[in-house]
Structure 1
Amino acid sequence: MKTFLHPTRHRVRRRLGALRTAATAALVALGSLTALVTATEPARADTLICDQYGSTTIQGRYVVQNNRWGTSATQCVTATATGFELTRADGSVPTNGAPKSYPSVYNGCHYTNCSPGTNLPMRIDAIGSAPSAITYGYVGGAVYNASYDIWLDPTPRTDGVNRTEIMIWFHRTGPVQPIGSPTGTATVGGRAWEVWTGSNGTNDVISFVAPSAISSWNFDVMDFVDQAVSRGLAGPSWYLTSIQAGFEPWQNGAGLRVDSFSSAVHAGGTGPTDPDPGTPATACRVTYTPNVWPGGFTTDVKVANTGSAPVDGWRVAFALPAGQSVTHAWNATVTPAAGTVTATSTASNARIAPGGSQSFGFQGTYAGTFARPGQFTLNGTACAVG
């Protein structure tokens, strides 16, 4: 996690014990010039991302990120309809140190870049279940792990380094090992794991290492969260902030895939819950009307329910272009201030009848050239724009 500079910040690997200043990477030539995608572009299937910290949205609810931070060598990922493939992974780093990157897909908030419609962060004791499913595709001739990361913090933060990281190592190749040292074994989710614990200087880490490769699994993330709580690495009043799945390559890695990923977090625990995520929308349209002046703007956003059923309790998620930040909002709560933001209804305008609409607005600042968001979702459903 790192200090916010633009909506697609990279994940600092805590093994190095220090945060780095992110830099904007140059566009990469891949044989013939290919259009590269940054986080300001709308999501679509088979999207190539070679920008160092570039990201895009898939399934209307998850973020795929390239996240190359430990090497200057070229890395590219291709976001698919259900996951991603690491299509280029040049270079290598020593296997006794940090990996060169963490290409991944996630639900939640990662350095102010929150996935559309997410209900994270959520208090641990307010969560009833957090079902997830993952299918990995592995390759030979590379040194890497397949790492599923769960992030916990005492506060509902959407930026910076979280206090505790849970890592699930589905597979590893070569002489790489988790942070810290082995501290025993545990059965979690009906599977046996080797458990490692330690600290990288900025956060605690608990790792669950599979004795043999797991290619596909459906499980409840809370089984691992409960392990962290029982070992004193988190508390019931802490927050689950992000659920991520990807790879940490040390050498090569082209061809590694997340073929499918799903993650949901359901309220139902004993603690206070976050606002209701609302009923699903079947169809919607968003009209975005800005008023722009040098360095600043206001915008009115009209959300129309073009489906046949009412929407009760709405959340509109969209990615602000790089350099834009919200300073004030009305008729909705808009958080965070930059990156992928979510506008949540108030008590007085929570219902959108079939054929009806609700409006909200906000004021903000921008740097460079003003641009409009490219995609909006209503309670997880992608909306037409116009």
Structure 2
Amino acid sequence: MRAINNAKDRYAAYKVLSSKEKGTFWREALINNAMYILLIIAVIYTFSQNHRFLAINSIINIISLSAANIPIACGIAGCIVLTGTDLSAGRVVGLTACISASLLQSVTYATKMFPNLPVLPIPLVIVIVIIVGGIVGWVNGFFVARFSLHPFIVTLATQLIVYGVLLMYIMINGNNGQPLSGLDNSFKSFVTGSKLSVMGVPIPNYVWYACIVVAVMWFIWNKTTFGKNMFAVGSNPEAANVSGVDVMKTTIGVHTLAGCMYGITGFIESARIGSNQANTGLNYECDAIAACVIGGVSFVGGTGKISGVVLGVFLLRIIFVALNFLSINQNLQYIIKGLIILVACAIDMRKYLVRK
């Protein structure tokens, strides 16, 4: 009922505009929603070229691929709300994925990294990777908050540090950098198994884990003092500090939470990929940042919704899958991804300047 009344109010306000103002209204609406319009056009065009694009197995595939990237996007979104970013996210995913794989390899696997180690309980491994990711996030947040360093510089440094740690880790016990595979069936079943199918197409379990992550992050962002403080600091840290918000504690908390989300992503990716190596997680942060911006998380700070992040992840994934269905060259896809990020950021900044 409230939505209907709001729509009526907006329509009434639109009717009293002059013809010039109406023209401006539609022009702004087209510019602000350009990404969504282009997406609709892309979906229609892709379907016209390949009807399998909207088949049930393709739709489930898009949902599954999106679910795998939702935790990292939800984590990085908090950093963007604080007017920052996190370049270390992908490498943290790679490190935690390799840690998960090494701890959950089958005891019968010939080249098991830790041959005398039994398959650890899955909840314990989840806790371990969350702690590892959280530590990296804490370091990021501490240097950003304590020394007023730009997040770009801090996370660039930790990206290199984490990558170095990852390279050393996969050399342990004579592994010599070989891919970590031979995962225990219980691990693969827990992550990539399925309890529900739609028209014979199984939905992986990690889709439901992504739903849990979304619910938890939505609650944190919207129903906790920490979430309110995050938006306050992102909007105006000086004003937030005067209002009694502990800016340093909030900044560290946001980055630590982001690191925990990267750890969860690494755990999921470990089983989803099945063969983990040094390049696991490479450039994941780029897709996550693009999804956040497309979903309305603004780099100017203090603006964003978890629902927008989820929508952005889905929209970006639809575009990537559409490019594959259209048999677009892989090299060209990198160019298109870069253009998407550039256009999304430009539209975001334009919205800010118009409001200002």
Higher strand share: 1
| TM-score, reference length from structure 1 | 0.22
Higher relative contact order (CA 8 A, sep 6+): 2
Task: Name which one, 1 or 2, has greater alpha-carbon Rg.
Answer: 2
| TM-score, reference length from structure 2 | 0.23
Higher helix share: 2
